[in-house]
Amino acid sequence: MSTHTEFTQTEVPDPGANDVYATSVADEQASEGAHVFNAAGGDWNDLVDEATSLGEERIVVNMGPQHPSTHGVLRLILEIDGETVTEARAGIGYLHTGIEKNMEYRTWVQGVTFCTRMDYLTPMFQEAAYCLAIEKLLGITDDIPERANVIRVLMMEMTRISSHLICLGTGGMEMGATTVMTVAFRERERLLRVIEMVTGLRMNNAYIRPGGVAQDLPPGCIDALREMVPEVRRGLGELEALLNENPILKGRTVDVGVLNLAGCMALGITGPVLRSTGLPHDLRKLDPYCGYETYDFEVKTRTSQDAYGRLRIRIDEMYESLKIIEQATDRLQASEGEHASVMVADKKIAWPAQLALGSDGLGNSLDHIREIMGTSMESLIHHFKLVTEGFRVPAGQAYVGIESPKGELGCHVVSDGGTRPYRAHFRDPSFNNLQAVAAMCEGSQIADVIVAVASIDPVMGGVDR
């Protein structure tokens, strides 16, 4: 599955000469002497044949697919001249799981447990995008309880900080700064403890469900959030002291992995890489979902277009996420004790929520079992059918895009009117952003490749889904 990516900036040729996609816009651009950016792929074997026919000596180095220098199972094929990278290609497919195909053989609700495992550092975002797309098809977007939406925002923003901390921590480790990693992982643990308190799991949570969330916040969670936020804020201050003005770090990251706005537009790149060019593109502001339009936060940008700018953006975004977490906590505390629902009212869709543990800490409590089995035989049968067979989704298709820590995460679901997806496809930002490897790395030093890839922050679980 290795591919060759070319990223070129050329004068516009005679439009339509050999271009079946030429448009009147291209005609206008050509008359003004504008530039067109082209991204093209090719098979690796074709490139080998081409290199052989030229009779030139080329040194090809494989970086990966191993940890830690290439973010897991990513293979980087580098053609070098001394220490200079003349060509860079990304080889993917080493972690392929078939998650999207497997989702076609499970009910709509069961699909949550699959997509949460794609980008394993941002599980809440895959769950949210998938459930929002299902709710759009069902026509119940406006029926989701307010408390469920607030909890979704809370969980996504905690996950955003967790993902950014992994990016900074592993990026620092790859440059030899192990203290950055230990501080980042320490702060991430504070967040994961709260996430585990709410969902029962640190990762792969399957907590956000179609219609709402699996269960409300447990007792003591508000206090845990109030305690966690200032601690993480102090930890971010430590990271800033270690990184922001560190001359060694700036020497490794400033003017490294440069990609301008035109390049991002040509390759469909979003997230911190795009915002490092100065464009404030954030779907939480541009196309709000889950009530994000009611929260006070800023979209952070830089204009350096390099790895250093992306690092600073991620630090700034973590502070903004802490602001959103505080606002969400205030709202949840205000509605606590009102028995507000966290699942849509329609019993034909609502997956059983508010489950309680038994005295042994396992299974459901006797009170919950008595409630289900003691209400009526009809309700018991309905409960059984809903869990085993699932609900039906009207035929059609829907796309929902949300702002994940790495960029636009989109979910496109297609229904044939049955109880499981006809097709579920995700636009994972890491997959799109990896196209920038050639543009960022060619012409730079081998050591800079590591920094450039780390600044993209790819997770191969999302790429090879």
- Give the domains, in start order, of the chain with CATH numbers: 6-91 (no CATH), 99-349+391-463 (1.10.645.10), 355-387 (no CATH)
Phi, psi of 59 (to 5 degrees): -100, 120
- C-alpha distances in angstroms, 253 versus 87, 88, 265, 454? 20, 19, 22, 10
Rounded Cα distance between 89 and 78, Å, is 6
Residue 379 sits at the vertex; the CA angle it makes with 375 and 382, to the nearest 5 degrees, is 160
**Residue closest to 103 by CA, chosen among 74, 73, 133:** 133
C-alpha torsion sign, points 109, 113, 114, 116? positive
Tell which wins on pLDDT, 50 or 186: 186
The label of the residue with tokens 């709260």 reads: 194
Position 16 confidence tier, pLDDT thresholds 50, 70, 90: very low
Looking at residue 277, the DSSP 8-state letter turns out to be T
Q: Are 75 and 453 in contact (CB under 8 A)?
A: no
Distant-in-sequence, close-in-space partners of 31: CB < 8 Å, separation ≥ 6: none
Residue 21 has pLDDT above 80, yes or no: no
Residue 405 has pLDDT above 50, yes or no: yes
Q: Which pLDDT score is estimated for 461?
A: 86
Phi, psi of 279 (to 5 degrees): -90, 120
**pLDDT, mean of residues 304-315:** 93
Residue 15 has pLDDT above 50, yes or no: no
- The encoded tokens of residue 307 equal 């790895």
Q: Which pLDDT score is estimated for 460?
A: 86
Let me know if 286 is exposed, middle or buried by CB neighbors in 10 A (0-12, 13-18, 19+). Answer: exposed
User: For the whole prediction, is pTM greater than 0.75?
Assistant: yes
**Residue closest to 164 by CA, chosen among 199, 188, 180:** 188
Rounded Cα distance between 321 and 297, Å, is 8
Report the SS3 class of residue 94.
coil
Rounded Cα distance between 413 and 415, Å, is 7
Question: What pairing do the DSSP bridges indicate for beta strands 396-404 and 212-213?
Answer: unpaired
- C-alpha distances in angstroms, 368 versus 354, 360, 378, 383? 9, 14, 17, 13
Report the SS3 class of residue 87.
strand
**pLDDT, mean of residues 322-328:** 96
